[in-house]
């Protein structure tokens, strides 16, 4: 379930709890709405924490990784005379 699903759960739960006057035998609609909002909030928090963890830079201290420059040297010692 992504961010959209979590927001839909929160919205549906809020509508059931605060905007309707429905009554069902054996079901407390206010509690059902609160449960849906709670599940949506928990899902949203879990999704955001996982998404935040994926976006962290690869270094442990949080710095930006160093830039690696590649240079071309025609007289490479692996190829005698610099010929390929």
Question: How many residues comprise the chain?
Answer: 84
Tokens of 14: 């809020």
Number of domains forming the structure of the chain: 1
45 located within any domain: yes
Tell me, yes or no, whether 83 lies in a domain.
no
% of residues, the chain, pLDDT over 70: 68
8 versus 81: which is more confidently predicted? 8
Domain assignment present for 12: yes
In this structure, what are the phi and psi dihedrals at residue 65, rounded to the nearest 5 degrees? -60, 150
| Domain extent for 14 | 3-54
Within a domain: residue 19?
Answer: yes
Is 21 contained in some domain?
Answer: yes
- pLDDT, one tens digit per residue, over 38-70 is 999 999 999 888 877 666 555 556 666 677 888
In a domain, 13, yes or no: yes
Residue 64 located in a structural domain: no
Residue 32 domain-assigned?
Answer: yes
């Amino acid at each position: 379930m992504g961010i959209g699903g979590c927001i839909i759960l929160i919205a549906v739960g809020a509508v059931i709890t605060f905007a309707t006057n429905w009554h069902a035998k054996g079901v407390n609609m206010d509690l059902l709405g609160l449960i849906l909002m709670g599940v949506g909030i928990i899902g949203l928090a879990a999704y955001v924490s996982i998404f935040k963890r994926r976006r962290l830079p690869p270094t442990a201290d949080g710095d930006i990784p160093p830039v690696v420059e590649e240079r071309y040297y025609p007289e490479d010692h692996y190829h005698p005379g610099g010929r390929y």
